[in-house]
């Protein structure tokens, strides 16, 4: 082999060695960059960067998930023996729904149809002599107003977009001044989709603008179920889930508890209503708490429990209570009672 061929071979080998060294160096740098970029990251962060193999079917895991969903936490077993009572209860509920509406009463839907939420508060504006202006408050829907509820498809206007977040549960108007209104917030019925409230709000210009009463910006007013105003002295009463019946004597600037544990059995109030003779009625208890109906004839200073063993109204077996006072007769009080065992209607009492 002559000298020229040897030189050519050596040059080729040298070039190949340089190329291989460059490739090795690049691989080293890339690997080092990945290592440094992953340093300090959690295992979960790194695992997300790696391609995971597809998992095969896992019937054992599916069975275990079904067990977790149907087991009784106390016994850690699936209570199959409860299927028959549960099935019967389901049939009972289906039959109740199949009974249909009350004969002779026809309902017509009036909105708000544009996402009004679950409407829990309805109030006719006393300032409107035609009786057509209506306010509607919804939990998850906000505060709405229509100027003609008699129309087949009333036009509803949302008062403020913010109110959709605070679950309006009740709304009232001052009997002495129709420009003054209040609404309470918070859905305190322990339903799974309940929304916590944000105190009581007040309007002094007929519902056009509202402001939160600062004294109600606390946990006592997270769930305000119902409200009422005394027509003579203007005292405001609020039925709250965690503080009983609260009262304000100064337009909502300050509040005191006038009916709670110590006088009543429960601190949970579900309703408050004014009688035709200005007596105040309060329903105490809740979905699964039994208490009763109380009455005050001196603006909430003193209370008397009405459901005794001899009054005709049951002393036990009920939970949530809703009140209705007849405006034409101060002796007429209606109570709808929830059955604490079935959560259906226990009865309507008068």
pLDDT (average), residues 311-332: 90
With a threshold of 0.95, does the pTM exceed it? Answer: no
pLDDT of the residue at 56: 64
pLDDT of the residue at 289: 79
pLDDT of the residue at 216: 98
CATH architecture of 118-349: 6 Propeller (2.120)
Reply yes or no on whether the pLDDT at 230 is more than 90.
Answer: yes
pLDDT of the residue at 60: 79
In the chain the first and final C-alpha atoms are separated, in Å, by: 124
């Amino acid at each position: 082999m002559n000298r020229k061929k040897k030189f050519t071979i050596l040059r080729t080998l040298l070039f190949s060695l340089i190329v291989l060294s460059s490739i090795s160096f690049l691989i080293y740098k890339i690997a080092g960059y990945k290592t440094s970029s992953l340093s300090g990251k959690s295992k979960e962060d790194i695992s997300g960067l790696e391609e995971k193999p597809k998992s095969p079917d896992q019937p054992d895991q599916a069975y275990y998930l079904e067990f977790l969903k149907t087991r009784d936490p106390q016994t850690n077993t699936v209570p199959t023996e409860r299927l028959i009572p549960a099935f019967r209860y389901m049939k009972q509920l289906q039959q109740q729904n199949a009974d249909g509406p009350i004969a002779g009463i026809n309902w017509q839907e009036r909105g708000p149809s544009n996402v009004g939420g679950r409407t829990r508060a309805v109030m006719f504006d006393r300032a409107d002599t035609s009786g057509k202006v209506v306010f509607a408050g919804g939990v998850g829907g906000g505060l709405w107003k229509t100027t003609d509820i008699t129309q087949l498809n009333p036009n509803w206007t949302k008062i403020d977009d913010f109110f959709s977040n605070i679950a309006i549960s009740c709304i009232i108007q001052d009997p002495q001044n129709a420009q003054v209104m209040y609404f309470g917030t918070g859905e305190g019925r322990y339903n799974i989709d309940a929304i916590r409230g944000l105190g009581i709000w007040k309007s002094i210009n007929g519902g056009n603008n509202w402001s939160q009463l600062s004294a109600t910006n606390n946990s006592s007013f997270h769930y305000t179920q119902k409200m009422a105003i005394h027509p003579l002295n203007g005292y405001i009463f609020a039925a709250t889930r965690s503080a009983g019946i609260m009262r304000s004597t100064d337009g909502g600037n300050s509040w005191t508890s006038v009916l709670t544990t110590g006088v009543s059995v429960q601190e949970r109030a579900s309703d408050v209503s004014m009688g035709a003779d200005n007596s105040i009625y309060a329903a105490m208890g809740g979905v699964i708490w039994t208490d009763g109906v109380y009455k005050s004839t001196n603006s909430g200073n003193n209370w008397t429990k009405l459901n005794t063993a001899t009054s005709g109204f049951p002393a036990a077996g009920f939970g949530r209570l809703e009140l209705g006072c007849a405006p034409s007769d101060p002796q007429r009080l209606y109570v709808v009672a929830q059955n604490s065992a079935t959560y259906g209607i226990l009865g309507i009492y008068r």
